[in-house]
Chains A and B, each alone.
Chain A
Amino acid sequence: MSTLTDLLQQVVEGIGSGAVYASLALALVLIHRFTGIVNFAQGELAMLSTYVAWQLMASGMPFWLALPVTLAVSFVGGMLVERLVIRPVQGAPELTVVIVTVGLFIFVNAAAGLIWSFTVKAFPQPFPDGGIDLAGVRMDWSTVGIIGVVAVVMGLLYLLFQHTSIGLVMRAVACNPESARLSGIRVSRVLMLGWGLAATVGAVSGVLVAPVLFLEPNMMGGVLIYAFAAATLGGFDSPVGAVVGGLFVGVAETLAGAYVDVIGPDLKVGVPLVIILAVLLVRPQGLFGRAAVERA
């Protein structure tokens, strides 16, 4: 295998894991767009959704039936979280809301451990074994599948936001909640909807990554860091940025792990830290974000 195909191989694998990061980053960006906060519990909510999927399959449901059910449950769950946990502190300073999401993080993590124990569980791979061979670069069906699923999710979100009236309403709220409220939009319902959507998109990332990482309550901790790096790189306001950032972070992480001896597989988790720091130093609003102007 030549060096070039080897490199391409790594890039392909990077894109595979990058798609997962992109999906969770997209969930983070959605919530940030709507509420201006970063949801630190996003990864844990995705983990919880993945457990729901696991439970459904353990009771005999096939994967492709369990997936839509899980996504529906996640949607409702996300709305409930907004209503029960976030709404009471709405309008409170950022610090309060962030601490509440950290509390949610700890609670969901421990609750999953309480219900399903901390033992690692195998999660069935929904895609067939084997793969395709492109000029010496091997692409597993699982990688193809992950990229495909994430692409479909992005496409659906795009259609929802750009071509439906509910999408228009949601964009209006994200853009200016006060004006939206004055023009008769029920902002609080839209926010619930936004959290539901974010939880659904996050659930996709959890279900996709579970066969690789194996299912356990701390599964999404690492993924969350990568998703943060992706969202920071792309700009916390930009869904496109989240996707591009996710793919970039995935590729960067894989390449750094494979080619930089000092980093190796064990220190790969330093890559998102470096990316976050570099972005903050060079272009704090991210690649696709807009620089914020603050008015007192």
Chain B
Amino acid sequence: MRSMTAVLDRTRHGRFALAALLAAAVAMAVPFYFAPFQVFQLTMVLVYAVALAGLNLLVGFGGQISLGHGAFFAAGAYTAAIMLDRFDTGHLATLPVAAAACFLLGLGFGVPALRLRGLYLALVTLSLAVFLPPLLKRLEAVTGGSMGLTVEKPQPPAWSGLAEDQWSYFVVLAVSAVALLVARNLLRSRVGRALLAVRDNESAAEVMGVRLSLHKTFAFAWSAMFAGVAGCLYTWVIGFVSPDSFSFVLSITLLAGLVVGGLASLYGPLLGAAFVMYVPSVAQDLSEAAPGVVFGLLIIAVMFVAPTGLAGLASRAGGAVARRRAGAAASDRSSVAEPPPESTSEPSAPRTPVDPESVEAEPVGAPPRTEKE
């Protein structure tokens, strides 16, 4: 693989830039071609994508499990709603506050939970997700109790000539683009490399000088922060929060979406978010239980046959084509956990440890496999 040199790198860079431009153009055009409700759905896909990108940091790259990201999502949503409702702060101010609040909350819960293996984090987060709705109902004076809070949605400025749903879409698009970029860059930094090392072999990573508890705790805090940002966006888009919107089903659904979309993939969260948004709305027509049946079966099936999810399938197909082209020249070993040393010195090289393709080649949860399939 390493010998595939600059030619391929450059074409890949070019292709990436082209794809990004194309995606941006499509994203900009979308709200003008779809009905308001469809624009709303797409906006929600972006909102979920931010939450899933955060969850992906933790689960996909950190190898820890959170069954309670809905709680951080709710915390972000309520922070925004309370600021708008009580203090009339304006929408923009709610975003950093929600992000900071959830970061600290994540830090607080991460410290005890991460002293041990990821299992305990799952227990703590699950109890947190179950506990939060009754707590929100109880704090009626601030949260509005079971009735929830209704707040104003961001209004399009007069010069833009946009409708409310279109404006919401663009605002969310901007925030989520930045958030996804931050997530991507975070993974290409020292933090990301440390996380991967911890995920792949905790003891070895520790011996190599990675401070386990520090990195795990911060991964959790970052991840909670993304969920909080997503929650804040949720409040902007929906204009209404209530405890029942954030039952622990939301947490489970987020994890399900991420797994199906693709763990440890950069595009996985987007695909997963589409899944979280559209599968329930399609399956709900069949019966109330259908989304759960579909989600449950898909999670198990994905873990059995394609631990890298939808994104992994796509890139494996792409990778197979690339490999055939590269021929036998490639040193065909999937040693992802040990990035070539030169890649650390040039972070722009696509073969950094968190490069989507290289990471996806190594499923988080699968038994070791060779690439020769």
Contact = CB atoms under 8 A, between A and B. Distances in A.
Interface stretch (A137-145, A192-200, A237-245, A272-280): A272-280
A280 B290 contact: no
Nearest to A38: B119
A48 to B, nearest CB: 13
Interface in A81-95: 85, 88-89, 91-95
A270 B207 contact: no
Given A95-B59, A113-B292, A284 B115 contact: yes
A225 to B, nearest CB: 5
Contact of A114 (B63, B115, B290): B290
Contacts of B350: none
Contacts of A182: none
A47 B122 CA distance: 21
Contact of B367 (A91, A100, A108): A91
Contact of A110 (B207, B290, B300, B367): B290
Interface string B187-214: 0000000000000011110010000000
Interface stretch (B133-141, B333-341, B352-360): B133-141
Chain A interface size, as a band, is 35 or more
Contacts of B364: 93, 95-96
A105 interface: yes
B289 A100 contact: no
B137 to A, nearest CB: 7
A277 B112 contact: yes
Contact of B65 (A92, A95, A228, A294): A95
B287 interface: yes
A106 interface: yes
Given A106-B292, A107-B293, A225 B207 contact: no
B275 interface: no
A105 B252 contact: yes
A110 B296 contact: yes
Contacts of B303: 89, 92, 96, 99-100, 103
Chain B interface size, as a band, is 35 or more
Contact of A104 (B113, B291, B300): B300
A37 B119 CA distance: 8
B291 A110 contact: yes
Contact of A284 (B67, B116, B128, B259): B116
Interface string A265-296: 01101101100110011001000000000111
B297 interface: yes
A62 interface: no
Interface in A193-242: 217, 221-222, 225, 228-229, 232
B296 A106 contact: yes
Complex A-B, nearest 4 residue pairs according to Cβ-Cβ distance, in ascending order = A110-B292, A107-B296, A96-B365, A103-B299
Interface of A: 37-38, 40, 85, 88-89, 91-100, 102-114, 118, 217, 221-222, 225, 228-229, 232, 264, 266-267, 269-270, 272-273, 276-277, 280-281, 284, 294-296
Given A98-B122, A273-B127, 6 more contacts: A94-B117, A99-B259, A105-B296, A232-B120, A277-B112, A280-B120
Interface of B: 59, 63, 65, 67, 109, 112-113, 115-120, 122-124, 126-128, 130-131, 134-135, 137-138, 201-204, 207, 248, 252, 255-256, 259, 287-293, 295-300, 303-304, 307, 364-367
